[in-house]
Amino acid sequence: MDFGSINWLAVAACVVVSMISGSLWYNPKTFFPAWWKIVGAGREQPGMENMGMTWALTVLSSFVQAVAMAFMVNAMGTPGILTGFMLWLGFIAPTYLVNKLFAGHGLKVWAIEIGNHLVNFVLFGAILAAWR
């Protein structure tokens, strides 16, 4: 792994894009109500008790994903969008399917969650390939 081959500005852009897409995807006017109805299972909506840690780990996770995607875009030699799609299809979609089915959340939550990851992975691939 050659960390010198990574465009860190592109990685930062991916993190920002991830935060924007997540806030739009899980907005009260988009998928949040349907997602929370199943995942929340009668609990109150998330409060602010641990939001600092939640956001810090969310940003860290996006950063790790973007760095890993940068390595894969460089290694695979395919268009970035295709790289993002194939990684999503091979790792994210099936892993989430198993997790959601065993958690009893079903296909609706699975579709909502992997949809956001599909958008992120495809955009990450496009950004990182364009700024290689």
pLDDT digits (tens, 9 = 90+) for 37-70: 888 866 666 655 788 898 999 999 999 999 999 9
Q: How many angstroms from the chain centroid is the CA of residue 3?
A: 22
Give φ, ψ of 56 to 5 degrees.
-60, -45
pLDDT digits (tens, 9 = 90+) for 67-110: 999 999 999 988 999 999 999 999 999 999 999 999 999 999 99
Whole-number pLDDT of residue 46: 60
Could you give the dihedral angle defined by the CA atoms of residues 59, 128, 32 and 48, in that order, rounded to the nearest 10 degrees?
10
